[in-house]
Structure formats: C-alpha cells, structure tokens
Structure 1
Amino acid sequence: MSLPPGFLDELRTRTSLSQVVGRKVMWDTRKSNQGKGDMWAPCPFHQEKSASFHVDDRKGFYYCFGCHAKGDAIAFVRETENVDFMEAIKILASEAGMPMPERDPQAQVKADRRTLLVEVMEMAANYFALQLKTGAGGAARAYLDGRAMAQATRDKFGIGFAPDGWQSLWDHLRGRGVAEDLIFGAGLARASQKGGKPYDVFRNRIIFPIRDARDRCIAFGGRAMDPDDTAKYLNSPETELFDKGRNLYNHGPARAAAGKGQPLIVAEGYMDVIALVEAGFGAAVAPLGTAVTETQLQLLWRISDEPVMALDGDTAGLRAAYRVIDTALPLLEAGKSLRFALMPEGKDPDDLIRAEGAGGVQKVLSNAMPMVRLLWQRETEGRVFDSPERKAALDKVLRDRIKQIPDPSLRSHYGEDIKQLRWTLFRQRPTKPRGPAGWGKNAWNAPQPPSASAKASLLVSADEQAQVQLREAVILAALLSAPELVEAFEPQLEAMPCSDPMHRDLRDCLLRSLGQPADAVRHHAEQAIGGQALETLFAARHVAITPCVRNPGNTELARMTVAEELAKLEAHRRQVLGIAEGVEDLQGDLADESVTWRLGQAAEARSFAERAQQEDSADYVTAENGVQLDAEQLQRSRALFESIDVTRGGKPRKSH
C-alpha cells in the first residue's frame, strides 16, 4: 500500500521518539537531558548495563554506540514489536491520533506532483528575492531600512518583493516552462472570473517565504505596501503543500535553536520572529495568520515542554492569549504547559527590541506568568465579587474550566492554585481606615485598628454560631498537630459543615493529604489558607490553650479532643434540628406532649455531650442531681465529710 504525500512527514512530526522508546527502556536520568531531547539508556537490542543507547528526540533518530543499531520511530517499532513497515505505521498513527489513509493507487503520482510543487515554490521564492533588489522594490527596501532590517537578515530569511502587476509572477513562471496547473496548485495565481488571464495572488507586497520543518518552501506571507489595502497581511491559500493550522513560521531553525537550550518563544507575526531571532532569541516561531491550533500546540510541545507565548500588550494580544488558554486546557498533561509574556501596552516584540534592546525582551520573558495565573486574570479582572452569588458564579466558571484538564494530578494542582488565588482575593481587606483622601499607599499591609467587628470577635461573642466556629478551629488545629488521626475521623470530618470558608479550605486540605507526613501536611495547609492565616489559627486563645496543641506529640490526647469536639458539634446540630422541627409542629394542628418530649430529649443530648467525654481509666457515678462524678474522688470527699464533727464547730473528730 502506498501512502499519500506528506503522511509520513506529519506522522514523524506528531510522534515523540523518546515516548515511543521510553516504553521499552529505563532512561539514565544522570546522563539524559530531557529539556534538550537528549536521552540515554541501556540498549534494548543487546544485553548491556551501560547507557550507550542514544535518542535525539528533536531530530527523531536513535543510535546505539554498542551494537550500532540506528533508525527512527518507525524502525524502532518494527524491531521491538516484530512487525512489518505498514503495521508499524498503523501502530504509530493510532498513538498519534492519525487515521490511516485509504488505499490510493495514485500515491506515487501525487508524491511526484508534490515534488514538482516544491520546485515551483522555490522558483517563486527566488523570483521574489530578486525583485526586492530591483528598482521596483525601492519602496519595499526603504520600509525594511526603516525597520532596521539588515541585508544579511533579508538574505537569511529570504525576504522578497512581489511587484505591483497582475501577471508578473505568472508570466515569469510560464516563461520558465511551468505548467499552469502547477502554478494554480502552488497557490500562486487565481483564475480570472471575467474570462481573462490568470492573476498573481501576491501583488505589491513584501514577501516572507514560509518553510516547513524540513526547510522546504511551502507557502508565502505578504505584507501590503499600500496602506489602503484591505488585507495588511496575506498568506498563501491552503494547498497540497500548505495547511496553515499545521505549520509554524521559522519551525526548522527554531527547533534547532531550542535543542541548544534556547527558550521557545511564540510571537504573533513574521517581523516579530525575525526581530527576536536577530536579537539572539533563535527559537522564535509564529502561527500563520490564525489562532494557535491544537496541532500547532502539539508541534510546540515537541520542541519545548513549556513554550512562552510572547503576545502584544494590547486588547487584541490579551484576546489571543485567552483563545490559546481555551485551546490548551484539554491538551495539558504533566510536564507540558505554557507561559505567557505580555509586552508593555501598545508594543510588540519588534517595538520593544528597537526601544530597549534584547534586555527589555528578556526582562518581560523572565516575568512570564504560568497559564493558571492568566486564566484567573481573565475571569476576575475588572469584576467585583461583593455578593455570594457573584462569588459562586466565579467558582462555577473556574470549575468548568479546570474540568477540561484530562490529567487528574494536574487538575488537582490547578485547583490548589486557584484556591490560593481565591483566598487572596476574597480574604484580603483594606487595613487602613478610610480618610478624606482615600486609602493610603500601604493600606493593604498596615495593621488593622480595632473595629466593631473585632470587638464582636469569636472570643467575645457568645452566640451559638461563634461556639460552632470555636469548636471547628480546635478540631482542625488538633488534627494538624496529629495528622495521622485524619483517617480515623474521615467520615465525621467530611460531614463537618465548616461555617467559616477558611475552615472548609483547611478541612479539604487535610482530607487530600491523607497518609502524608506531618511536615507535608503542614506545607499543604500553608498553601491552602496562607502561612499568616495558619499562624493566626494556632495563636487564637481558644486553640492555644487546647492541651493537644500545647503537646503536639500526644496523639491520644489529640484523639480524645477531636472526638469530644465532634460529639459536641453533632449534639448541637441535632438540637437545632429538633427545635426547628418542634417549632414547626407547634405551629401546626398536631401539637401534643410528644413535641415537648422530643425537645427535652434534644436538650438532654446536648447537655450530655457538653460534659467531658474523654476516655480515661476513671469510673464515673451519677449523683442524685444528675451530675457525673469521678467515683474515686467521690469516695475521698465522703470520707472527708464524715471526718468533720459539725457539733464541734466543724473541727475534725478525734480518732480512737
């Protein structure tokens, strides 16, 4: 079976050799450099202990310095799976998500045609480059001079010029004997709708050749010289050679530069890429007149695990960044992400380089934000969350966004970061009183003066809700002091309503940290609610005086404390529920003595739970008034009373 032209090229582009080989070998982590795609392992083809098997992931080839085995991903699958060429292609295509093409008897003919189309494109590229140096290209040269583009740079990128004529390129190619269908097939000319002679696609434009990863010219991009032209930039139409959503400008050179350790930068246009490359950022690419596609993201991740999106500092640049987020979220996996570097407002990378040089760009790149921060910025910037409904709406939007991430671990980490950002947004309050001139410069960091809310704090308030929050704080602090107990109280902890959002975040953190060591749990807790908030929790008087907090190593004491406080919370909940049901019954037609009995039972349960329920070795007896007393202490008290002679003014009796 013959494969259609370009199928193997795309398969190799989509396939990571290190992932294919990694299923059969154990990488030598000391010798390998994953960031550069330079991987080493013991050879899977012969018995050895040393790591002599080398995989160059960027070039897509392997070689063993012991047995001299070599090849690409297809050869590796053939050798290790013992299959023929086409079966190996099917295996790799299935992994890459590429459907196998139907049998095509004309495949060789099409391959020959593609070869001819590439030759036509190279002829056109040479023609455009020559036109830039003629008198017709004077205005274009002046424009490039104004952009400070040196002649060496023009030659390096093959910059050319399309004259302002309807059939200039057409006549040139026809004069060289190129068939009309090849000119049309290459996307260089269009047929006239008026029955006249075909006309050139590119006219009066500066030309940027677009090359694939193998450095073959497959398309052109043109910048209009006429400021009134309806399209400032124009790309070749899609052809047998060119699919704009599956290619990148400067792909091949950028891949080579990234292999040498340079950061992969994704700019918006040709001039930005050229300016970045000439400023020393050789691993720069650009999409081709469209939003970044899924295929282009996969191409980028083949080059680098964390490309930097360098976008213009304007509204359009932000919109482009947000579109990239929507495309990338369902594709994210561990080790594959994006960072975003937004240029100063009103500038693109080319402007910044001309104004501040490479240092200015490097500063922006160094401050590139992770994708989760830009996702948060998109959903919160310019909005006010001053009501529960607005906060809930934000939570829903963010949950829906994060659910798109397929990797559970990565999804969890995104959730943690979002939770921390949410905590900062909703918990941060101005701490400097408002004066006539508004807030001071350090209003967010200054100590907060006493206020009415502070005077009505939990330690001062005596209402039921305050008591619930106090008990929740003690439970959480006790479990943080002895996190190994979380598993024992997991069901009760999950059911704890958590009247304070901070308590809820801390409770969730404890449940997620099951089985982890105490130091790790403490670290996760600091990330969940912030180090300052955690210190405030432990410094609170009602927590600080708790015995198990003062003695963090006493697990049994912590167990008794948590059990007691959970029992009191449950009793309180039942009493509140019982009272509510009783009130409802009293207002109805079925009120009788059973309502009074139920209310009494609820109160008795609450009273019983309020007593200390610590499980120690003491025996208890119930006095006539219902109070529980330590049996041993009661016996000693009785002996003391019996020894007192009330007839002698309370003096002890004489012993006989």
Structure 2
Amino acid sequence: MSLPPGFLDELRNRTSMAQVAGRKVLWDNRKSNQGKGDMWGPCPFHHEKTASFHVDDKKGYYYCFGCQAKGDAISFVRETENVGFMEAVEILAQEAGMEMPKQDPRAQQKADRQTQLAEVMEQAVQFFRLQLQRGVAEEARRYLDRRGLDARALERFEIGFAPGGWENLREGLKAKGVPVDLMLAAGLVKQSDKGREPYDVFRNRIMFPIRDGRGRAIAFGGRAMDPNDNAKYLNSPETELFDKSRNLYNLRPAREASGKGQALVVAEGYMDVIALSEAGFGASVAPLGTAVTEPQLQMMWRISDEPIIALDGDKAGLRAAYRVIDLALPLLEAGKGLRFAIMPEGKDPDDLLRAEGPDAVKKVLDEAMPMVQLLWRQETEGKVFDSPERKAALDKVLRARIAKIQDQSLRRHYGDDIKDMRFQLFRGQRGGGQGGQRKPGSWQRRDWRAPPPPSAGAKSSLLVAGGEEAEFQLREAVVLAAILSAPEIAVEFEAQLDAMPCLDPQSGLIRDMILRSIGNEAAMRDRVEDAIGREALESLFKARHVSVVPCIRRPGDAELSRMTVAEELAKMDAHQGWQAELSEAEEDLEDLADEAVTWRLAQAAQARAQAGRISDEDDTDFDVGPNGAHMDKSERSAFDSLLSQIRFDKQRR
C-alpha cells in the first residue's frame, strides 16, 4: 500500500519523538533538558546503564552513541515493537488521531499529480517575481520600500506582483505549456460563470508565496493595492496542495531558527513576519488568514514548547488572543504552553519595529505573560467584584474554564495561580494591610468581625485589661492548628477564614497559605511550613493553648477538627458581637441611658456566655455546639478552662 504525499510529513509533525521513546526509555533528568526537547537515557536497543541514547524532539530523531542506532519515530516503533513499516505507521497514526488512508490503486497517479501542481506553483512564483521588476509594479515597489523591505528581503521572501487584468497569469503559464486544468487545480485561476475562459484569481496585488514544511510552494497570499478592494488580503483557495488550517507562513525558516535557540513568535500577518524576520526574529510565523487552528497549534508545539503569540495592541488583537486561549485550554499538557506578548496600543509588531526598533520588540517579547494571566485578565478586566454574587460568578466562570484542561496536574497548577490572583484582587478591594493582614478595627461597621475603635472608657475597662484581644488571638491559633490537623475540612470554612482578621502577623500568613492550598490540601502543611519555618510551625502545635485541644492530640480526626473549628469561630463571632454592642452602648450612655440599652447589653452578654460556656451546667453526656454538633464533655472544656484561668490570673493582678 502506498501512502498519499504529505501523510508521513503530517504524521511526523503530530508525533513527539520524546513521547514515543519515553515508553521504552527512562530519561536521565540530570542530563536531559525537557524544555528544549533534548532527552538522554539508557539505550533500549542494547543493554547499558549509561545515558548514551539521545532524542532531539524538535527535529524528531534519535541516535545512540553506543550502538549507533538512529532513526525517527516510525523506525523506533518498528525496532522496539518488531513490526513492519505500515504497522508502525498505523500505530503512530492511531495515537496521533489520524485516519489511515484507504488503499487506493491510483495513489501513484495522485502523487504524480501533486508533483505537477507543485511545479505549476513554482512557475507562478517566478512569474509574479518577474512582474514586480516591470513598470506595471512601480506603485507596489514604492509601497514595499515605504514598509522598509529592501532587495534582500524581497529576494528572501520571493515577493512578487500580480498585475491588474483578468488573464495575465493564465496566458503567461499557457505560453510555457501549462494546461488550464492544472492552473484550476492549483487555485491560480477560477472558472467563469459567464462561459468565458478561466480568469486570474490574483489581480493588482503584492504576492507572498506560501511554502510548506518541505519547502514546496503550495499557495499565495495577495495584498491588494487598491484601497477600495473588498479584501485587503486574499489567500489561495484550498486545493490538493493547500489546507490553510494545517500550514503556517514562513514555517520552514522559522523551524530552523527555533532549532538554533530563537523563541517562536506567532504574528498576525505576512508583513509582520517579514519585518520580524528581517529585524533578527527569524523564528516568526503567521496563520494563513484565519484564527489559529488546532493543527496549527500542534505544529507550533512541535517547533517550540512555549510559542509567543504576538498580537496587535488593540481590541481586535485581544479578541484574537482570547480565541487562542479557548482553543488551547483542552490541548495543554505539561511542558507545552503559550505566552502572550501584547503590543503597545494601536501598534502591530511592524509598527513598533519601525517606530522604536528591535530592542522595543524584544522587550515586549521578553515580558510576554503566561496564558493563565491573560485568562485572568479576560475574566476580570473592567469588572467590579463588590458583592458576593459577583465574586461567586467569577469563581464559577474560572472553574469552568480551567476544567477544560485535561492534564490533572496542570489543571491544579492553573487553579493555584488563579487562587493567588483572586486572593490579591479581593484583598486589595477590601483594603487589607500588607501581606493580606487586616488591622484591628479596619472593617466597616456592617462586618460582624468589625467592632468600632474602643472609646477612652472602654480602653480602661477590666475587659481590655484582662486580655480580650489576646484571647481572640489564642482562639485564632486554635482554629488554624485544627485545620492543619485535618486539611480536608478547610474548604468548608473558606469564607470564615477569608474574613478572619488574624491580629497576629504569623497567624495571618498561616491563614493565607491555608486559603491558597484549598484544592491541594495534601500540600497545605508543607506550604505553611515553607512560609513560616519548621520551628514556628512546631511552636504553634506545642503552645499550651493549642496542645490541650483534643483534635490536636488526635490529628487526622476530621469530625473532631470540624467541631473544634466551628465552635471557636462561633465564640469569636459572639466575642466581636459583644464588643460591638458594648461600644455602641457606651456611646448611647453618653447621651441618654434607658432600659433599652441595658436590655441590649444583657442580650449580647447572654449570647456571649452561651457561645463561650465553660462550666458544666447540666448532667447530660453531651453539649450541643453552635454548629448543632454534639460534643463529648470529656473532650470539650480543656481549652476554655485554660482561657478562664488566664482571665482569672490577670484579674488578680
């Protein structure tokens, strides 16, 4: 069975040599450079322990410096699986999602026809290049000169000109013996619907030849010289040679430049690619008149692990970038990503080069943002999140977007980064202090954790002298330690943790690390330890007011930790409510004392006493906590008793 031309090239473009070999080879991580596709390991073809087997993933070949075995993905499968050529092709095609072509007795005829069409296209390239030197192309030459394209650039990119008129190319090729049916099949002329001779597709346009990865001319892009033309840029129609969704402009030179270490830059149009290449950014490509497609994205990743999408600094450029995100999310995998370089507003890469030079473009490319940041910008820019409903809507949208990522590990890292950005956005909106800490009393009155600043009378009261703020900090420490003892419960208390003042800076840092680890609870304790240090973390759990708590003595008991956190949060709530009522009452007493004020104080005191009850007031075996859960009395009161003793000792002083 013979395969159609281009099938094996497409198969090699879609196949990662490193992934194919990775099924049989254990890579040496010290010697390999995965980011550059430079992989080393023991050879699977002869027994050895040294890493003499080398894979160049970008070029798609392997070589063993021990036994001299070499080849591509097809030959690797043939040798390691002991199969024939066609069976190896079928294995790789199935993995790449390509349908094997059916046996066609006329395959050789098709191959011959494609060869003929490629030859016709080459003759068209030469025809258009010759026309650019004639007087009819004077205006086109002036335009190219204004765009900064010298003779060397015109030669390198084989730029030509299609004169006005309906039959110049047709007659020029006919004079060289090219049949009209081949011109039609190559997309150079169109059939007239008025019964006349086929007419030229390109007229009065600057012509840019489009070549495939093998270097064959397969299509043209034409830039109109008439400003009133309906289509500023016109591409060849799809033909037996040309599939615009599976090719890139300047593909072959860009692949070579990328192999020499240059970053792959994806621009919007032909002129941008030419300008970038002439300025030293040789690994530049462009899609062919359409938005980036999945096959084009896979081609980019075969060239570079992290292409840079360089787009115009206007709304259209951003819309194009957002479309690329939607396309790329389901295709992402570890080591394969995108970065986005947004040009200054109103400029494309060519404009920026002519205005400020290559250094300005290099600066923009060096500052290209990861895709996760542009995704965040897409969902948040120009929006206000001043209500729980809007914040919840943002969370819902972002969860749905990153859920499209198939790689579980990568999806988790996207979630972590988005949580960090969300954390910073919402902290900033609430006016938190540095590092997300809040100063006591900085909350607005409507927040239940926000008592107003105490009056002079309150400052000298026994309540403050007895350490009410200190008690609050102790309870915060218990809450954080209880969650670290059973990290899986953190998500249940996310809102309360997010709003907890954390008067102690270290507690604020622990709280922040817990919030950022929701969704990756297994790493929560390690993150906290990295943030505050091992000794500080150990000191937290050894502290007298923490170590006596039952759930700390029984780490991993999620139900006990859940009850502990719920009860301590309820007590802090009651404590803050009591302070708020007390401050208000003091203000009211300065004006007018009445029974309503004393009734309010009594109610607040009763709520505080119930939430923080420390005495055994009944003979039941269980107490009911504020969350409705039953708590064994024998495991309930150690912490509260300790706090009671602290209060008593301070009052005696």
TM-score range, shorter chain: 0.7 to 0.9
Against the structure 1 CA distance between its residues 113 and 450, is the aligned structure 2 distance closer, same or farther, given a 3 Å change threshold? same
| 1:566 maps to 2:558 | no
Once the two structures are TM-superposed, the CA of residue 194 in structure 1 deviates from its matched residue by 0.7
What secondary structure does 1:429 align onto?
helix
Q: Aligned AA for 2:498?
A: P
Q: Aligned AA for 1:520?
A: R
Against the structure 1 CA distance between its residues 118 and 427, is the aligned structure 2 distance closer, same or farther, given a 3 Å change threshold? same
| 1:486 maps to 2:486 | yes
Once the two structures are TM-superposed, the CA of residue 76 in structure 1 deviates from its matched residue by 1.1
Report the equivalent of 1:521. 528
For 1:137 and 1:569, how far apart are their aligned partners in 2? Answer: 81
Once the two structures are TM-superposed, the CA of residue 560 in structure 1 deviates from its matched residue by 5.2
Report the equivalent of 1:381. 381
Q: Aligned AA for 1:370?
A: P
For 2:402 and 2:364, how far apart are their aligned partners in 1? Answer: 27
Against the structure 1 CA distance between its residues 117 and 496, is the aligned structure 2 distance closer, same or farther, given a 3 Å change threshold? same
| 1:290 maps to 2:297 | no
Report the equivalent of 2:480. 477
Against the structure 1 CA distance between its residues 324 and 452, is the aligned structure 2 distance closer, same or farther, given a 3 Å change threshold? closer
Once the two structures are TM-superposed, the CA of residue 99 in structure 1 deviates from its matched residue by 1.1
Q: Aligned AA for 2:477?
A: V
Once the two structures are TM-superposed, the CA of residue 346 in structure 1 deviates from its matched residue by 0.5
Against the structure 1 CA distance between its residues 260 and 568, is the aligned structure 2 distance closer, same or farther, given a 3 Å change threshold? closer
Q: Aligned AA for 1:566?
A: M
Once the two structures are TM-superposed, the CA of residue 318 in structure 1 deviates from its matched residue by 0.5
Report the equivalent of 1:371. 371
Contact 1:157 1:208 in 2 (8 A): yes
What secondary structure does 1:325 align onto?
helix
TM-score by length of 2: 0.77
Query: Aligned runs of 1:246-395 on 2, under 5 Å?
Result: 246-395=246-395
| 1:151 maps to 2:158 | no
Once the two structures are TM-superposed, the CA of residue 364 in structure 1 deviates from its matched residue by 0.7
Contact 1:478 1:548 in 2 (8 A): no
For 2:64 and 2:442, how far apart are their aligned partners in 1? Answer: 74
Against the structure 1 CA distance between its residues 388 and 248, is the aligned structure 2 distance closer, same or farther, given a 3 Å change threshold? same
Against the structure 1 CA distance between its residues 415 and 348, is the aligned structure 2 distance closer, same or farther, given a 3 Å change threshold? same
For 1:355 and 1:204, how far apart are their aligned partners in 2? Answer: 29
Structure having greater relative contact order (Cα 8 Å, sep ≥ 6): 2
Report the equivalent of 1:225. 225
Contact 1:131 1:162 in 2 (8 A): yes
What secondary structure does 2:429 align onto?
coil
Once the two structures are TM-superposed, the CA of residue 379 in structure 1 deviates from its matched residue by 1.1
Aligned length: 560
For residues 486-532 of structure 1, the C-alpha deviation after alignment (integer angstroms, 9 at most, x for no partner) is 36xx46x5655753435697656566555558543344899xxxxxx
Q: Aligned AA for 2:26?
A: M
Once the two structures are TM-superposed, the CA of residue 549 in structure 1 deviates from its matched residue by 2.9
Q: Aligned AA for 2:363?
A: K
For 2:181 and 2:531, how far apart are their aligned partners in 1? Answer: 65
Q: Aligned AA for 2:2?
A: S
Against the structure 1 CA distance between its residues 403 and 57, is the aligned structure 2 distance closer, same or farther, given a 3 Å change threshold? same
Against the structure 1 CA distance between its residues 90 and 414, is the aligned structure 2 distance closer, same or farther, given a 3 Å change threshold? same
For 2:54 and 2:486, how far apart are their aligned partners in 1? Answer: 47
Contact 1:312 1:346 in 2 (8 A): yes
For residues 91-121 of structure 1, the C-alpha deviation after alignment (integer angstroms, 9 at most, x for no partner) is 0001101011222111111011111111111
What secondary structure does 1:499 align onto?
helix
Once the two structures are TM-superposed, the CA of residue 151 in structure 1 deviates from its matched residue by 0.5
What RMSD over aligned residues (CA atoms) do the two structures have, in Å? Answer: 4.0
Report the equivalent of 1:124. 124
Q: Aligned AA for 2:87?
A: E
For 2:288 and 2:337, how far apart are their aligned partners in 1? Answer: 21
Report the equivalent of 2:235. 235
What secondary structure does 2:444 align onto?
helix
What secondary structure does 1:131 align onto?
helix
Report the equivalent of 1:406. 406
Contact 1:469 1:500 in 2 (8 A): no
Contact 1:478 1:558 in 2 (8 A): no
Report the equivalent of 2:557. none
For 2:476 and 2:434, how far apart are their aligned partners in 1? Answer: 28
Report the equivalent of 1:213. 213
Against the structure 1 CA distance between its residues 559 and 409, is the aligned structure 2 distance closer, same or farther, given a 3 Å change threshold? farther
Unpaired runs of 5+ in structure 1?
433-441, 527-537, 539-545, 577-598, 617-627, 630-656
For 1:419 and 1:14, how far apart are their aligned partners in 2? Answer: 34
| 1:453 maps to 2:460 | no
For 1:612 and 1:370, how far apart are their aligned partners in 2? Answer: 54
Q: Aligned AA for 2:480?
A: A
Of all paired residues, the percent bearing the same amino acid is 58
What secondary structure does 1:453 align onto?
coil
Once the two structures are TM-superposed, the CA of residue 43 in structure 1 deviates from its matched residue by 2.3
Query: Aligned runs of 1:477-556 on 2, under 5 Å?
Result: 477-479=480-482, 483=484, 485-486=485-486, 490=488, 495-496=492-493, 498-501=495-498, 509=516, 512=519, 514=521, 516=523, 518-523=525-530, 549=540, 551=542, 556=547
What secondary structure does 1:323 align onto?
helix
Contact 1:468 1:569 in 2 (8 A): no
Report the equivalent of 2:47. 47
Report the equivalent of 1:16. 16
For 2:371 and 2:495, how far apart are their aligned partners in 1? Answer: 31
For 1:411 and 1:568, how far apart are their aligned partners in 2? Answer: 30
For 1:93 and 1:168, how far apart are their aligned partners in 2? Answer: 43
Which structure has the greater CA radius of gyration? Answer: 1
For 2:97 and 2:471, how far apart are their aligned partners in 1? Answer: 55
For 1:549 and 1:459, how far apart are their aligned partners in 2? Answer: 26
What secondary structure does 2:421 align onto?
helix
Report the equivalent of 1:186. 186
Once the two structures are TM-superposed, the CA of residue 65 in structure 1 deviates from its matched residue by 3.1
Once the two structures are TM-superposed, the CA of residue 367 in structure 1 deviates from its matched residue by 1.4
For residues 533-562 of structure 1, the C-alpha deviation after alignment (integer angstroms, 9 at most, x for no partner) is xxxxx9xxxxxxx99638469985465568
For residues 430-458 of structure 1, the C-alpha deviation after alignment (integer angstroms, 9 at most, x for no partner) is 759xxxxxxxxx99999989667389874
Against the structure 1 CA distance between its residues 389 and 122, is the aligned structure 2 distance closer, same or farther, given a 3 Å change threshold? same
Against the structure 1 CA distance between its residues 144 and 495, is the aligned structure 2 distance closer, same or farther, given a 3 Å change threshold? closer
For 2:70 and 2:37, how far apart are their aligned partners in 1? Answer: 17
What secondary structure does 1:39 align onto?
strand
